[in-house]
Amino acid sequence: MNKPRTITLAFTGASGMPYGMRLLETLLQHGQHVYLLYSKVAQIVAQQEMGITLPSQSKEAEAFLNQFFNTSTGQLQVFGREAWFSPVASGTNPADAMVVCPCTMGTLAAIAAGMSENLIERAADVMLKEKRQLILVPRESPFSTIHLENMLKLSRCGAIILPANPGFYHHPNTIQDLVDFIVARILDHLKLEQQLMPRWGE
């Protein structure tokens, strides 16, 4: 179940960076090869919500995150927003799955419209056209009719819409418990074993 795969992970500018960072940490712990993409606004959100300064240069970001998570060099690759020669930009070398977490409504709309104006949008477009797994984790409230229509369109195209709406039946005691609830659900859909929270009935 935990056979190493390649996962593209994208951070966008929605609130909810703790979800994305915890997911990145867990994927690396599971030995997955991760392609990481993030927007300029995601850098702002990471600083505002977690006090983390994500470097703008790819190699600096890789070094910073490898040290932050104590992972080996090569397991994580960071690509800039205009890195059109990266593997994620082409259907000839797609990742096994992609997660956008957190996902802004703007990114979701662009993916639904097939815009592909930056590497995050293009990577998601590749997932859809190659029939690979695409998981979008929107963090917005309330949803407008436009948001809902875009989510329905993407769901019909095969994407998984997994809103950052944590449950409470596991009796969370901390914010981390709430974050782990969502990350556990993402890991379930990626078919990766997790011990972040007990399963229903266990």
Instruction: Note the pLDDT tens digit of each residue in 54-100.
Output: 999 999 999 999 999 999 878 999 999 999 999 999 999 989 999 99
Q: Is 39 annotated as a binding residue?
A: yes
| Closest of 68, 63, 94 to residue 78, by C-alpha | 63
Q: Is 31 annotated as a binding residue?
A: no
Domain span at residue 91 reads: 6-189
pLDDT at 41: 97
Q: Is 139 annotated as a binding residue?
A: yes
202 has a pLDDT exceeding 80 = no
Look at the chain and report how many structural domains it folds into.
1
Buried b (16+ CB within 10 A) or exposed e, 129-138: eeebbbbbbb
Q: Is 113 annotated as a binding residue?
A: no
Average pLDDT (91-116) is: 97
Q: Is 104 annotated as a binding residue?
A: yes
Task: With respect to residue 148, please indicate whether it lies within any of the assigned structural domains.
Answer: yes
* CA 41 – CA 38 distance, rounded (Å): 8
Q: Is 13 annotated as a binding residue?
A: yes
Task: With respect to residue 196, please indicate whether it lies within any of the assigned structural domains.
Answer: no
Task: With respect to residue 37, please indicate whether it lies within any of the assigned structural domains.
Answer: yes
* CA 128 – CA 91 distance, rounded (Å): 10
Task: With respect to residue 43, please indicate whether it lies within any of the assigned structural domains.
Answer: yes
Task: With respect to residue 68, please indicate whether it lies within any of the assigned structural domains.
Answer: yes
Token readout for 101 is 């977490």
> 70: domain CATH number?
3.40.50.1950
Task: With respect to residue 103, please indicate whether it lies within any of the assigned structural domains.
Answer: yes
pLDDT bracket for residue 115 (50, 70, 90): very high
Q: Is 72 annotated as a binding residue?
A: no
Task: With respect to residue 1, please indicate whether it lies within any of the assigned structural domains.
Answer: no
Q: Is 185 annotated as a binding residue?
A: yes
Task: With respect to residue 101, please indicate whether it lies within any of the assigned structural domains.
Answer: yes
Sequence-distant (6+) residues with CB within 8 A of 6 are: 32, 33, 34, 35, 95, 96
Q: Is 169 annotated as a binding residue?
A: yes
Q: Can you give the pTM of this predicted structure?
A: 0.96
